[in-house]
Chains A and B, each alone.
Chain A
Amino acid sequence: MQLIYELSVPGRRGIKLPASDVPSAAVLPEELLRREQAGLAEVSELDLVRHFTNLSRRNFSVDTNFYPLGSCTMKYNAKVLENAAALFAPFHPMTALLPGGADFCQGTLGMLYDLGQLLADITGMDEVTTQPLAGAQGEMTGIMLIAAYHASRGNKAKKKYVVVPDSSHGTNPASAAIVGYEIITVPTAPYGDMDLELFKKAMSDEVAAVMMTCPNTLGLFNPHIKEISDIAHSHDALMYYDGANLNAIMGKVKPGDVGFDVIHVNLHKTFGTPHGGGGPGSGPVGVKKALIPFLPQPRIVMDDDGKLLLETANKGSIGRTANFFGNFGVMAKAYAYIIMLGREGLIQVSEQAVLNANYIKEKLKPYYDLPYDMTCMHECVFSASKQLEHGVHAIDIAKFLIDKGYHPPTVYFPMIVKEAIMIEPTETESKATMDAFIAVMIEAAQAAISNPRALHDAPLTMPISRLDETKAAREQNVCCSG
């Protein structure tokens, strides 16, 4: 397909601007002006509409295809959420920051406050900040809160390490490193969880935090989680919960109850807001009481009369993680999702997410190696090791699925499973959809033996075949020239 710039015709316009009702201002001094106009597209409105409409048709999406991308919780995004978020489009965030301005924003501030309360109940935390803009920023914010906590107790120099299991999301060590910590990685034991004995050895009073995902990226709930948090706390290390997999446990277990001190929640995963082709997300962070003094500013608080105010002068705060109040539009969708589903609805979400994952796991177990064969939570991780004996890799199976109309599961993650295939169906998929997917996965396993070439050649039905990623990385052509 042509690029929008290749459709450009000099002088063509896509939109008429409002007419001016004021005199023209004197031209700015030349040294302030650009020499030539930026080479943006020059297309008609129809050309523009066709271009982006046709581009959109080159995507798989939840609305068009089953999208069992493990760890990403690609559930259906209810349409009413889009309508709900649009209600807030006109509100300027700066209004709330003006002196007395909060009075004019009681609706939006109140919604953020209520969302925090709901998330605090779901996660078992005492207070939630809605400011972090995505899951990874939530992690970073959470680790900063932990750093501020240790510093407030005079332990800044002593606390040097953050412990993570080797099955963790890459964002966990990356976020801790950004805050200045060194990383200690603990291997996974054959029972599918962080090796408890090695964990004990890794722990010392120099550890600031332990970051866990529970259920972990293998989809397994760690039965020793309380023991792990007790050990961490005995070293004055705080427990960080990566909420990426919260979809498995709503109403079943609260991270705050099992010893976690800080949690981030991915609203775009668990709470049904769309992923947008890679964002926006939203990563509210919940904390236990001891960490409240360090929460980002402005902090939304309620006075005795139920009026919402902004706290901006707390010297102990870590500061600010976003220019305003976080990704409000995403939070409006998540808030609408939570109040729409309610208590029983959210419990059912987790139950059926877990049911669906276990169903797929059992059905595919005869055909694919299941390195950790036990009851899983919301996702299951296979290995293509059997298929590899025939020269077929996980990526070949992924490409075969594309030809059959399925977005592939996550492949090659977690890294601790060779040729990993990580499947997360989510609760919104029907049995019929999953059965059809299972049949295609079985077909792929059979083709790996009978006709590996078919897998190596896939996909054949897309506008393009497999792309030369080495060329892309070596040439770094990231901007259209001309």
Chain B
Amino acid sequence: MSMYFTKEHEWVKVAGNIGTVGISDHAAHELGDITFVELPKIGTVVKQFAILGSIESVKAASDIFAPLSGKVVKVNDALELAPEAVNESAEDAGWMAEIEIADGSELKDLMTQAQYDDYLKTL
């Protein structure tokens, strides 16, 4: 399953019309110990790059942006009690939401893993 990234360090894995969304290992590391993840409500309809949720560490707070437009169909409730999962496994167990993709062509506005790795080098 291929992963795509945003400049704001979200990732999305696409399987059929469902995209699983989270933040990258890089972003999780930059934030430090994560203390809270504000997840979207199921059924929320988001536009690409609009705010999907937010994430807090001890000394920072950032928004999570939707990599793709669509409807939130599932959220990772486990993060409410164990936000540290994002630090431990940002690109797997630390996923945040599943989105029913509205427009697959939006993937062209995202980076591939290789492109994202190059992007990180420029920061």
* A binding-site residues for B, Cβ under 8 Å: 412, 469-470, 473-474
Contacts and interface: CB of A to CB of B under 8 A. Distances in A.
Interface of B: 33, 35-36, 56-59, 83-84
Main secondary structure of the interface of B (DSSP, over half): mixed
Contacts of A469: 58-59
Nearest to B58: A469
A412 B36 CA distance: 21
A187 to B, nearest CB: 17
Given A470-B35, A473-B58, 12 more contacts: A412-B59, A469-B58, A469-B59, A470-B33, A470-B57, A470-B58, A473-B35, A473-B36, A473-B56, A474-B35, A474-B83, A474-B84
Nearest to A472: B58
A174 to B, nearest CB: 13
B101 to A, nearest CB: 30
Contacts of A473: 35-36, 56, 58
A393 to B, nearest CB: 12
Contacts of B36: 473
B30 to A, nearest CB: 13
B33 to A, nearest CB: 4
A474 B58 CA distance: 9
A128 B83 CA distance: 48
A456 B56 CA distance: 24
Contacts of B59: 412, 469
Contacts of A474: 35, 83-84
A473 B33 CA distance: 10
A473 B36 CA distance: 8
8 contacts: A412-B59, A470-B33, A470-B35, A470-B57, A473-B35, A473-B56, A474-B35, A474-B84
Contacts of B58: 469-470, 473
A391 to B, nearest CB: 16
Contacts of A412: 59
A474 B83 CA distance: 8
B44 to A, nearest CB: 21
Q: Which 4 A-B pairs have the closest CB atoms?
A: A473-B35, A470-B33, A469-B58, A474-B35
Contacts of B35: 470, 473-474
Among B33, B56, B57, B83: residue with most chain A CB under 10 A: B33
A473 B83 CA distance: 11
A469 B57 CA distance: 10
A474 to B, nearest CB: 5
A469 B56 CA distance: 13
Contacts of A470: 33, 35, 57-58
A422 to B, nearest CB: 16
A363 B83 CA distance: 45
Nearest to B34: A470
B92 to A, nearest CB: 21
A481 B116 CA distance: 48
A180 to B, nearest CB: 19
Nearest to B81: A474
A290 B109 CA distance: 50
A470 B57 CA distance: 8
A66 B49 CA distance: 47
Nearest to A469: B58
A474 B87 CA distance: 13
B78 to A, nearest CB: 14
B47 to A, nearest CB: 18
Nearest to A474: B35
Contacts of B84: 474
B81 to A, nearest CB: 9
